[in-house]
């Protein structure tokens, strides 16, 4: 999930809502925004996924 803002000169900024890292600033087009967002490897999202899979593994072990 990303937070996009537009500057007075019409360019865009985008920020990741998981890690609050600014991914790109003063981007000219929304196409470029999408490319920048797609390239973002989010540390927070990776951590959340890892914790989620660890929790589900633990509950599976507990159940059996």
Instruction: Report the interface residues with Zn ion, using CB under 5 A.
Output: 16, 18-19, 42
The residue (of 47 and 58) whose beta carbon lies closer to Zn ion is 47
The residue (of 34 and 57) whose beta carbon lies closer to Zn ion is 34
Q: What is the DSSP annotation of the chain?
A: -EEEEE-TTS-EEEEETTT--EEEEEES-HHHHHHHHHH---HHHHHHHHHHHHHHHHHHHHH-
Residue 41 Cβ, how far from Zn ion at the closest point, in Å?
8
The residue (of 22 and 55) whose beta carbon lies closer to Zn ion is 22
């Amino acid at each position: 999930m990303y937070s996009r803002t537009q500057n007075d000169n019409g360019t865009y900024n985008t920020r990741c809502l998981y890690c609050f890292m600014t991914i790109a600033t003063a981007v000219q087009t929304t196409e470029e925004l999408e490319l920048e967002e797609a390239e973002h490897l989010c540390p927070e999202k990776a951590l959340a996924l890892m914790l989620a899979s660890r929790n589900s593994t633990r509950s599976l072990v507990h159940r059996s």
